[in-house]
Amino acid sequence: MQYRPSKRRGLGVLRTLLLVMLRSRSIITLALVIVIPISITTVLILGSEVIQERVAIISDMVKGTSVIAYITHMNNTKSCVVASVTNVTISNGEESIEVLMMTTGDVNKFLDLLKVRVIKSLGKSIDSSLGIELARILNLSVGKHITVCLNNSCMKLIVDSIHSCRCILDYSLIVRSNVSLGQTLVLLEVPRKVIASSILVSTSKDLTKLMYVLSFMTIISYIVLIYLGFKRLALSIRNDVFLIHEIGITLRSIRLCFAIAATALSLILTLYGTALGLVITHSSIWVLRFFNVYLPLRPTLPYLWLTISSLMMTAIAFPIGYITSRGWEHGG
């Protein structure tokens, strides 16, 4: 007479199956098909961690300040300057050129914030300042008149000052106005590493994405092999399974226990593969010193990846374990 095992008896079957599986020679095959892809993916994920750690180190090394512009409107505090940016055509009467015009309530504060040097000016308070390169192209100097045209409406301005910064503002016109023309920007001084970090993080994200894509691909390419590893294991222990069956446990229950045991084994092998990947990566970083590359990095595996790989292995191992043991019901 066959019956479903009690909870205690079920645990006994599970323990017996685990012992039988561990004693089987086929466990080596299973270990290979799980440990290899997991250690490769661990190395890839740790590679992306190395990149991120390098980014943090490089960003920290960037000194000085930069001006950052927020497009959304903020409260005007002492440290920030509100400006608007638009394209205008300026003319000296003979030549005209399309340039960037910045309008702000306080030109002096704007120039101070952006560390722009005033080369010539009519007075201390500046109403309109022309970039040095623009002045050279249009052959203009302080006190001269220019015509500024925006959307077919033109006005005349006197150039109050000429500024220089070896930056884009050398080709721009800055005008005092409280009227916002074009796009409004809130300019704020920030440590330069904020921008450096944004650029590097954005680039490193691309590399991290690549590493994750390659990791998933490696595991997917091994799914059929994992199935074969389980199949071999299931076949190698079938005599022991029949013995358990003969003492009255249903094959369905044994199959379920096999799937659970296979999942547990897979998780252990996943941890083993992860540890192996960690050792390989850290050893590789150490070996790099012989090529004169010193990386003061100790990458750690993100918990997220550990969770993903464990969940993925459970999702793969349990159904495969159950399917591969199907042969027992047909005597194979």
Partner 1 sequence: MGVEWLILTFKCLGLRIIAIITTSILLLIIALTLISGCVMGLYTFYDELTIPERVKDRAVVVMGFALAPFTSLIRISSIKSLTSNISSLLSDVGYEVITIALIGNDSVIVRGVNKDFLKKYVNYTVIKGVDVNDLCYVCAWIGESLANDLNVNVGDTITLYSLFTQVPITLKIKGILRIEEPYNYEVIVPYKLGQLLRGTSGDTASIAILILKNGVSPNEVLSKLSLPSSRMSYLLERVFIALKHLGKEVKLSMYRYASEVLTERLGIPRNTLIAITLAILFIASIGSYIVGLVPFILNKEELKLIHEQGVAWGRIRFTIVFIGVIAITMTYLITKFLVSSLPHLINVSILHHKLSLTTDVSIDIAIPVFTALFYVLGSITGDVIED
State in angstroms the smallest separation of the CB of 9 from partner 1. 25
Listed in sequence order, the residues at least 6 apart from 214 whose beta carbon sits closer than 8 Å to its beta carbon are 41, 44
Our measurement of the distance from residue 34's CA atom to the centroid of its chain's CA atoms, rounded to an integer in Å, reads 27
Of residues 114 and 313, the one with the C-beta less far from partner 1: 114
CB 322 within 8 A of CB 234: no
C-alpha separations of 284 from 72, 241, 289 in Å: 46, 44, 9
Q: How far apart are CA 269 and CA 39, in angstroms?
A: 10
Of residues 5 and 215, the one with the C-beta less far from partner 1: 215
What SS3 state is found at 95?
Answer: coil
State in angstroms the smallest separation of the CB of 278 from partner 1. 15
Residue 57: Cβ within 10 Å count: 12
User: 69: alpha, beta or left, given left = phi > 0 and alpha = psi -120 to 50?
Assistant: beta
How, if at all, do strands 161-164 and 128-131 pair?
A: parallel
Residue 187: Cβ within 10 Å count: 19
Of residues 25 and 124, the one with the C-beta less far from partner 1: 25
Of residues 5 and 131, the one with the C-beta less far from partner 1: 131
Q: How far apart are CA 159 and CA 140, in angstroms?
A: 8
Of residues 158 and 220, the one with the C-beta less far from partner 1: 220
Of residues 200 and 262, the one with the C-beta less far from partner 1: 200
Of residues 226 and 254, the one with the C-beta less far from partner 1: 226
Of residues 18 and 32, the one with the C-beta less far from partner 1: 32
Between vectors from CA 268 to CA 267 and to CA 274, what angle results, nearest 5°?
A: 85
State in angstroms the smallest separation of the CB of 60 from partner 1. 14
C-alpha separations of 322 from 209, 229, 327 in Å: 33, 13, 10
State in angstroms the smallest separation of the CB of 3 from partner 1. 28
State in angstroms the smallest separation of the CB of 321 from partner 1. 15
100-112 burial code (b ≥16 CB/10 A, e <16) = bbbbbebbbebbe
8 residue type, one letter: R
Q: How far apart are CA 232 and CA 117, in angstroms?
A: 78
Whether the CA torsion 278, 280, 281, 283 is positive or negative: it is positive
State in angstroms the smallest separation of the CB of 64 from partner 1. 8
State in angstroms the smallest separation of the CB of 39 from partner 1. 8
State in angstroms the smallest separation of the CB of 4 from partner 1. 28
